[in-house]
Amino acid sequence: MEPLPLILAPMAGFTDAPFRLLCRRLGADRTVTEMVSAQAMVYKDRKTATLAKIPEGDDHCAIQLFGHDPAVMGEAAAMLASGDYAGVSYAHPPVAIDINMGCPVRKIVASGDGSALMQNPALCGQVVAAVVRTVRIPVTVKIRAGWDKEHVNAVEVAAACVENGAAQIAVHGRTRNQMYAPSSDNGVIRSVRQALPANVPVIGNGDIRSVADALAMVEETGCSGIMIGREALGNPWIFAAVGAVFAGQTYIPPTEDEIRRTAMDLVAAIVQDKGEEAGVRESRGRAAHFIRGMRGSARMREGLNRACTLAQVREILQD
């Protein structure tokens, strides 16, 4: 089977610089940052800039932007693409600006951002056009199937985006109202693939938990690339596993020791970035994804929830 690009899905609270770097090292061809607020950038919010940090080695990273006002989106995209913004730091320039048209969270859609944009395909096109006008790197878009099952309009939205210059469309096969259940619908991804010009990549996303799921995504949709989110949180080796099948190679899964060591290295990198207190607090949930299913994982999780220092986390993960 022809190798297709494997992309780490953007996940707020998870796809920070250390995690993206880990996935890139383990076989993700591309990564995407956590979503960055266009409005906050235009207000010159300093904390927001820390989301747009690209470390050495994360050399195929797109920055995701959310918002709904074309002018604000254009202005923020220009700052992100050029890196001309206090606090933004790039070891590698971003390879694309990705526009979030999929986030279902109430607070986001209440402001007209994320998947709320899909209720207005013309506005989707205007947002893309405004961003395309202000940056020289490709502009990509991530959408869902639609708002709800009465309004499955991924094809219309994708076409509006492409007509206005979008270079790639990633589709998560659920509506906004479905949030994360029931299962993602590959049929809608296939419809987008069939509707768009062949030279515009359509990336399939949703519920890829295994190599078999990845192969089914390719076969059922004809997609041009694969985007994996939640499975990677505790199993970043999924990229290597899928990549090996594409390359006709054998995949050797990590040992339990390697999994624990990788979780520990990730926590250490997060602590280095965010400081010990915030880093350890945030890392509790992050490390828990790695130990899921291991013998003694419930006890380890309890320990992680009480841990306050990096040394305590190390002790629990090495126990």
Residues that bind ligand FMN (CB under 6 A): 9-14, 34-35, 64, 100, 102-103, 142, 172, 205-208, 228-231
Query: At its nearest, how many Å lie between ligand FMN and the CB of residue 254?
Result: 20
Q: Pick the closer one to ligand FMN by CB: 13 or 197.
A: 13
Q: Pick the closer one to ligand FMN by CB: 174 or 310.
A: 174
Half-sphere exposure of 201 (CA within 13 A, CB side): 20
Q: Pick the closer one to ligand FMN by CB: 17 or 310.
A: 17
Q: Pick the closer one to ligand FMN by CB: 10 or 234.
A: 10
Query: At its nearest, how many Å lie between ligand FMN and the CB of residue 193?
Result: 17
94 contacts 79 by C-beta, under 8 angstroms: no
Query: At its nearest, how many Å lie between ligand FMN and the CB of residue 250?
Result: 24
Query: At its nearest, how many Å lie between ligand FMN and the CB of residue 282?
Result: 13
Q: Pick the closer one to ligand FMN by CB: 127 or 316.
A: 127
The residue number whose beta carbon is nearest to ligand FMN equals 229
H/E/C letters for each residue in the chain?
CCCCCEEECCCCCCCCHHHHHHHHHCCCCEEEEEEEEHHHHHCCCHHHHHHHEECCCCCCEEEEEECCCHHHHHHHHHHHHHCCCCCCEECCCCCEEEEEECCCCHHHHHCCCHHHHHHCHHHHHHHHHHHHHHCCCCEEEEEEEECCCCCCCHHHHHHHHHHCCCCEEEEEEEECCCCCCCCCCHHHHHHHHHHCCCCCCEEEECCCCCHHHHHHHHHHHCCCEEEECHHHHHCCCHHHHHHHHHHCCCCCCCCHHHHHHHHHHHHHHHHHHHCHHHHHHHHHHHHHHHHCCCCCHHHHHHHHHHCCCHHHHHHHHHC
- Cα–Cα distance, 166 to 107 (Å, whole number): 26
Query: At its nearest, how many Å lie between ligand FMN and the CB of residue 285?
Result: 10
- Cα–Cα distance, 15 to 281 (Å, whole number): 16
Query: At its nearest, how many Å lie between ligand FMN and the CB of residue 315?
Result: 28
Token pair for 232: 């990677």
Catalytic (active site) residue 124: no
Choose, from 103, 124, 161, 223, the residue flagged as catalytic. 103
Q: Pick the closer one to ligand FMN by CB: 14 or 237.
A: 14
Token pair for 51: 């989301």
Residues acting as catalytic residues: 103
